[in-house]
Structure 1
């Protein structure tokens, strides 16, 4: 065993040198690139067409938002200079701050903002509801636009400041107007703090960025996604390393600067290393595992008992244990779809999933009339976060009696199939193990098991009639206490109808080199304001 372990470490070091050699040869020590290792490879660049976190991370480098979430979960103007609402809160007026420019030098205008919001509003759960409540969005002048509601919508600013998939990033109107939201834009043109070096992009392996010298950050200090985004690093590189030992060697040897997620097996060692800093972000930045069910296709489309069999088989303690995390980094007893520790956390409906049981799952399979039909499960083998949990999910479902057709691939390939609607025989799917952060789950309108109800959106094709009026009431409600009660009822209905069965809550921290100063510990990589200590 020791000899094999040594050989693995040697192979990791050799592979690391081969991967980084071209960049090392180009860069001098004083302007060494800031290197981030992503969880999975960057394959898709359009943050509206893609539901992937890696695309979201990319987009925050090159795009900007009208409103941004700060470190405490509040919402602040970002590209906007100000906003105001009429007394009845049906007419909103937004003004852009001066000096905004796209990377091609053209000015950002209100027309760009309106076109971008309309495209996003066809794709995102909150965006769709905002657009459904909107009577008109109109350009007043190059820096001003209005949004007139035809019915109350109590989440306008929260919608514009949505921090994660899908984020309402602003792009030129000529691109937004010409590109359907389900298709990837051919041209990537943002106004954010970094410029994308597309000529250096190797999909799935490497992406590079240069500082945007024309970017004008806000004057206030950076705070979460808000405030002054100062691109201090002259060059940033996104790298992909599927081997976790390679990631660990790279960060400990200083060959890379930042890991999006620390390899769990190496956390004890990282905690003892004074050259490394481990993220302390919690709450909304925690992660929930779950299983995406294809509600569009048989056998899950109209068979509630079959979906309940999946839910009954998912033992959260056993699944989360696959990561081998310390007890203070897991919450396997959490039954809240919103994540425990977040504002809308609730136990409503939780009794149905508190005690998972393979015996109960088998009984539900019989009740469902299951006849051993093959169930296509897509397994993202390259994801250090998803794959360990997926292996336990697969084992549990097989033991419950599901006839699984497990198809293994990299996440980027799976994501392309996941958002499609092909039948199984033409690349379709039935189940996909996934993970989401609290940024995506902590509010009913963004929660993947609630906010997409009856929207027809793939991969979230569920439609629960009983949720419709409750969601409508939540959308219009402005009172926090009433919102919380409505959110609890929505969770109860979602668990009862198995829109998104969860597989366990945990914390997966980032890790970065201690010589980096100005790192914003937010919950996903924020790479502005970072510089090296001299």
Structure 2
């Protein structure tokens, strides 16, 4: 497999779910399923949850999966802004408590940031490399290639493939060339290049929209004025981003949740309204504001287009340097998790910095929560994008997970002989 980024990056680095498991998992349709936890239950109106571990599971180094190891991993991966205030081991149980209710905790725990890794060996030492319970274990990293080998004792059963090699930081053009000559079996297809891949007759697996492209807006200084933030939202031309930069892939949106999850996304208007932007700005001379993006390539182009949009609305906006951490506006990609709308909304809001439980149980209640949040204009949804991968002729039974990453554990290769 070849990728343009890093195999371990969050969210959804392709190696992470090959090496690690979570307490829960989402199937290909986004439904919640057991994983390292067999069962779970809540009490005290969702202020307390307990998860019972699957017996007999071992880490790659042979050590047993224990509730203490799980708690230590979760404390290490989520030191602040967690969906819980405390996590502890109680016999075979992992217990979460919080002052606020946690109605969506089982689904949130299926997220990439809560995958379980071994943080200390039996003698208290830091384990070498990345040690999990997943279908593959790390064998080494050399010359830009991460080598994984099959976990013979995986609790889910041994994977079909004996080994996986992930070549990182490969430009997409080189990935496609390697696929065409048989040097790669699975390569990335960025959303904006899906049409090109189809024209080249590549065999492409495409997920539903699983990534929200959104603009996060600071609420300090001049941008503490909600009308100014509203002017920014009205000035952005989503259609240009969709049609020109992302080549009509995915969906234009002004809501957190895609239409397939909420059923009401169409109620949030997506059209650009430059007159409204000027009206909300009220003639104020503002800025200069800085705009940064977490991605490269099309995300950089999208950021530059947004800068032009905002200048047309009278804002003084400049592109921030790469890696800027304190920009006034940040164009980012946020993962959409699962098929439960309330859990997906809570995760999106958490990723955007709003650690608020979402308890809505009906579409009407969910719409009210979303509308109240979006009215603050601290997060401006723009597009929902799919993830896609092209596969070689000898790949069999490869499917995409709910997050759009390839499930290599269930895939196999046709014998070349």
Q: Fold match, TM over 0.5?
A: yes
Specify the alignment match of 2:230 in structure 1.
Answer: 308
Asked whether the 8 Å contact 1:111–1:173 carries over to 2, the reply is no
Q: 1:377 aligned to 273, 291, 298, which one?
A: 291
CA distances 1:359-418 after superposition (whole Å, capped 9, x unpaired) = 332333335x333x222222456344x233223222212222222221353xxxx3xx54
CA distances 1:9-29 after superposition (whole Å, capped 9, x unpaired) = xxxxxxxxxxxxxxxxxxxxx
Specify the alignment match of 1:500 in structure 2.
Answer: 379
User: TM-score, normalising length from structure 1?
Assistant: 0.67
Structure 2 gap segments, 5+ residues each? none
Q: 1:365 aligned to 265, 281, 285, which one?
A: 281
The Cα RMSD (Å) is 3.5
State the shift of 1:277 in Å: 1.9
Call closer, same or farther: CA 1:104–1:278 in 2, change over 3 Å: same
Once the two structures are superposed, the pairs formed by residues 424-439 of structure 1 within 5 Å of their partners are: 428-439=326-337
Asked whether the 8 Å contact 2:20–2:117 carries over to 1, the reply is yes
State the shift of 1:241 in Å: 2.7
Call closer, same or farther: CA 1:186–1:105 in 2, change over 3 Å: closer
Call closer, same or farther: CA 1:92–1:262 in 2, change over 3 Å: closer
User: TM-score, normalising length from structure 2?
Assistant: 0.83
SS at match of 1:511: strand
Asked whether the 8 Å contact 2:218–2:378 carries over to 1, the reply is no
Structure 1 gap segments, 5+ residues each? 1-34, 179-184, 219-227, 419-427, 453-458, 464-470
Asked whether the 8 Å contact 1:519–1:530 carries over to 2, the reply is yes
Specify the alignment match of 2:103 in structure 1.
Answer: 154
Rounded Cα–Cα distance in structure 2 between residues aligned with 1:443 and 1:186: 39
Specify the alignment match of 2:174 in structure 1.
Answer: 246
Rounded Cα–Cα distance in structure 2 between residues aligned with 1:379 and 1:122: 25
CA distances 1:175-219 after superposition (whole Å, capped 9, x unpaired) = 9xx9xxxxxx9964322222234542x6xxx3403214344132x
Q: 2:259 aligned to 340, 360, 370, which one?
A: 340
Rounded Cα–Cα distance in structure 2 between residues aligned with 1:432 and 1:137: 32
State the shift of 1:440 in Å: 8.1
Rounded Cα–Cα distance in structure 2 between residues aligned with 1:75 and 1:214: 26
SS at match of 1:492: helix
Rounded Cα–Cα distance in structure 2 between residues aligned with 1:486 and 1:92: 24
Asked whether the 8 Å contact 2:51–2:95 carries over to 1, the reply is yes
Specify the alignment match of 1:196 in structure 2.
Answer: 138
Asked whether the 8 Å contact 1:450–1:490 carries over to 2, the reply is no
Moved more, 247-256 or 515-524: 247-256
SS at match of 1:106: coil
Asked whether the 8 Å contact 1:91–1:148 carries over to 2, the reply is yes
Specify the alignment match of 1:9 in structure 2.
Answer: none
Specify the alignment match of 2:271 in structure 1.
Answer: 355
Q: 1:78 aligned to 11, 35, 41, which one?
A: 35
Rounded Cα–Cα distance in structure 1 between residues aligned with 2:194 and 2:45: 54
Rounded Cα–Cα distance in structure 1 between residues aligned with 2:239 and 2:158: 40
Rounded Cα–Cα distance in structure 2 between residues aligned with 1:508 and 1:312: 28
Asked whether the 8 Å contact 2:191–2:386 carries over to 1, the reply is no
Specify the alignment match of 1:14 in structure 2.
Answer: none
Rounded Cα–Cα distance in structure 1 between residues aligned with 2:374 and 2:231: 12
Specify the alignment match of 1:517 in structure 2.
Answer: 396
1:171 is aligned to 2:99: no
Question: How many residues are matched?
Answer: 409
Once the two structures are superposed, the pairs formed by residues 319-468 of structure 1 within 5 Å of their partners are: 319-323=241-245, 325-326=247-248, 329-332=249-252, 334-343=253-262, 345-347=264-266, 350=268, 353-366=269-282, 369-371=284-286, 373-379=287-293, 382-384=296-298, 386-409=299-322, 414=323, 417-418=324-325, 428-439=326-337, 443-447=341-345, 451-452=349-350, 460-461=352-353
SS at match of 1:309: helix
CA distances 1:311-362 after superposition (whole Å, capped 9, x unpaired) = 1111211111123535xx4432x332111211464455x2xx4331233323
SS at match of 1:256: coil
Asked whether the 8 Å contact 1:377–1:432 carries over to 2, the reply is yes
SS at match of 1:519: coil
Rounded Cα–Cα distance in structure 1 between residues aligned with 2:261 and 2:73: 30
